[in-house]
Amino acid sequence: MRDLKAVGKKFVHVMYPKKSSALLRDWDLWGPLVLCVSLALMLQGGSADSKDDGGPQFAEVFVIIWFGAVVITLNSKLLGGTISFFQSLCVLGYCVLPLTVAMLVCRLVLLAGSGTVSFVIRLIVVVAMFGWSTLASTAFLADSQPPNRKALVVYPIFLFYFVISWMILTFTPQ
């Protein structure tokens, strides 16, 4: 129960990002794992053995998220960041929460039908949640970098969440 409360507090920190070290101090990978698995399951689409579904396979999403987070973390460390490896993975993983919410909303919108209006609604939701994920992660990670290298850390974060957002926006179940 203690771990569930800690995960819930970190979700609140991501949904209401403010300059706080609480998310960084007590890192864990349970929340990021749950978010990654749920996002991968939602993006998988139809049946697991179908080659004609509209989404990527589970392993593709899982690897993209974790490999991307590791690359961003290594970039941050190589640029002189003061944050630990697992703290960075924790922040990047928890900041996938808005994109997971976007995927849930997009799935619900796609149940109503797929057309121009559906695409516009999904585009607005995904762009808003992409901005939220990027803002939340940079609020926690940018302060751990030297001032003259913040842009070099923020740009890969932007690309990481952009790729995930693109996968969500282009998802079409069959």
Reported as a single tens digit per residue, the pLDDT across 120-158 is: 999 999 999 999 999 988 887 777 888 888 888 889 999
CB 53 within 8 A of CB 45: yes
pLDDT surpassing 60 at residue 46: no
pLDDT surpassing 80 at residue 71: yes
Place of tokens 């070290």: 21
Token code pair at residue 64: 């993209």
- Which of 42-46, 117-121, 130-134 is predicted with the least confidence, judged by mean pLDDT? 42-46
Quick one: pLDDT at residue 105?
Answer: 94
Identify residue 58 by its one-letter amino acid code.
F
- Which of 4-13, 41-50, 99-108 is predicted with the least confidence, judged by mean pLDDT? 41-50
pLDDT band at 103 (very low <50, low <70, confident <90, very high): very high
Query: What pTM was estimated for this model as a whole?
Result: 0.85
> To 5 degrees, how large is the angle CA 64–CA 125–CA 153?
45
Tell whether the torsion through CA atoms of 162, 58, 8 and 153 is positive or negative.
Answer: negative
Task: Give the mean model confidence (pLDDT) for residues 83-88.
Answer: 85
Whole-angstrom distance, CA of residue 24 vs CA of residue 40: 25
Token code pair at residue 31: 């929340």
